[in-house]
Amino acid sequence: MRSKRMAVLALTTWSMIVAFGSASHRAIAAAPTTRPEFEASPVHSTWEDLLEGIKTLDQWRQRKETIRRQFLELIRDDRKPAKPPLDLQAHETSEVDGLYTRKLISYNVETDERAHAYLAIPRHLTGPTPAIVALHGTFKQGKEQAAGLLDNPDKAWLDHFARRGYVVIAPDHFTAGHRIPPEGPYETARFYAKHPEWTAVGKFTYEHSIAIDVLQSLPEVDPDKIGVLGHSLGGQGTYFLAAYDQRVKAAACNCSAPMFRQNPRVLEWARDRWYIYLKPLRPQLLEGRLPPIDMHHIIALVAPRPFLDLSGLNDGNPATQRQRVLMNMEIMRVYELEKSPQDFAFYVHGRGHSAAYESRQLMVAWMDVHLKPPSATAARLVPAK
């Protein structure tokens, strides 16, 4: 009897479920075919002045020329000296793991100044190949870091990219390596005594542009496939050079300095000691006035050429680094206006002021995609047996 009652209960329950399901199905079938749409709230930030009042590509290009003039004025480009002949010389040559030749070279950057750099040329090249300007961070021995000879191997940009078939030049910053001033590494007092109306940013940007001259003078280099990348001080050098020199076809900036706005330590851009980036800015910063342009304007000058920004939310002031995310979102709008959104990207992590593995891999992939032929990065199906 118990089994029979359970069977009847189960049958009754199943009938209720079927009936409920049928009723639900009829209700769903009778419901409207459309569903409500929920609008996303717009994100507003202080970085919107980049495209304020701009609706068309022509309007942006006019604004871009204004920004370019402001950028050159910011770095005091008109105070730079005349460019001397390169007079490229090689001083030492080493073979690295049978993969590439590393040369210590020097060349003129002013009539009385020579820059030193490491130059890596992969072995067994079959023709002109893409090239990279690799910029080191604030490190006393400069290019030794980029070559992987000293310090953190994560930052050995010359070695990383030479192993992947790129010709790479890694110059000393003008206050490091072979060119440390008598006062010490990264002391700029002697530079400003020589060039009181110029800026350190203008100086290193101009010299990095000359490094491109060196690359383009080499038969191993494809002159139309030149990238720039760097970490920290070299990260700043990356976007300044890419904005300055149209020959840069792809750029990747890792953990560069904070911007002017949303930066409690903005006076560090024009401090009165040690390394002084933009000395002429100091009076107006002390009065509480910021420059007419900021880093998002400068990076936007790179568009539509490819630019990748990598940063740590916990690198320095977290509030400022979160503002960097908003800044990058506004730069993307420029790339969208230029019809090249695929050529701008940013990656934000929690690894602080680092050049961690995943960041390096992104930088490699960025250069491969934008400087090498499509076949170098194309995925392939597995062939059928």
Residue 159 lies in a domain: yes
Q: 23 pLDDT exceeds 90? A: no
Peptide bond between residue 304 and the one before it cis (omega within 30 degrees of 0): yes
- Mean pLDDT to the nearest integer, 61-76: 98
Least confident of 30-44, 89-103, 343-357: 30-44
Residue 17 lies in a domain: no
Number of structural domains in the chain:
1
Q: 14 pLDDT exceeds 70? A: no
User: Which ranges of 338-376 does DSSP label H, i.e. alpha helix?
Assistant: 357-371
Residue 67 lies in a domain: yes
Any bridge partners for residue 107, and if so which?
115
Highest mean pLDDT among 6-20, 23-37, 62-76: 62-76
More confident residue, 19 or 59: 59
Residue 30 confidence (pLDDT): 53
Chain-wide mean pLDDT for the chain?
Answer: 93
Residue 35 confidence (pLDDT): 80
Residue 339 lies in a domain: yes
- Mean pLDDT to the nearest integer, 342-371: 98
Residue 326 lies in a domain: yes
Q: What is the pLDDT of residues 220-276, one digit of tens each?
A: 999 999 999 999 999 999 999 999 999 999 999 999 999 999 999 999 999 999 999
More confident residue, 311 or 22: 311
Residue 201 lies in a domain: yes
Residue 82 lies in a domain: yes
pLDDT > 70: percent of the chain? 91
Q: Looking up tokens 């075919």, which residue turns up?
A: 33
Give the pLDDT band (50/70/90) at residue 38: confident
Residue 385 confidence (pLDDT): 85
Strand ranges (DSSP E) for the chain? 89-96, 100-110, 113-122, 129-135, 167-171, 221-231, 248-254, 307-312, 344-349
Residue 37 confidence (pLDDT): 84
Q: What is the pLDDT of residues 156-211, one digit of tens each?
A: 999 999 999 999 999 999 999 999 999 999 999 999 999 999 999 999 999 999 99
Residue 31 confidence (pLDDT): 55
Reference 147, options 192, 104, 84, 113; nearest CA is 104
Least confident of 5-9, 39-43, 111-115, 267-271: 5-9
| DSSP state, residue 280 | G
Q: 7 pLDDT exceeds 90? A: no
* CATH code of residue 114: 3.40.50.1820
Residue 27 lies in a domain: no
Residue 34 confidence (pLDDT): 78
Q: 10 pLDDT exceeds 70? A: no
Q: Which domain holds residue 254?
A: 47-370
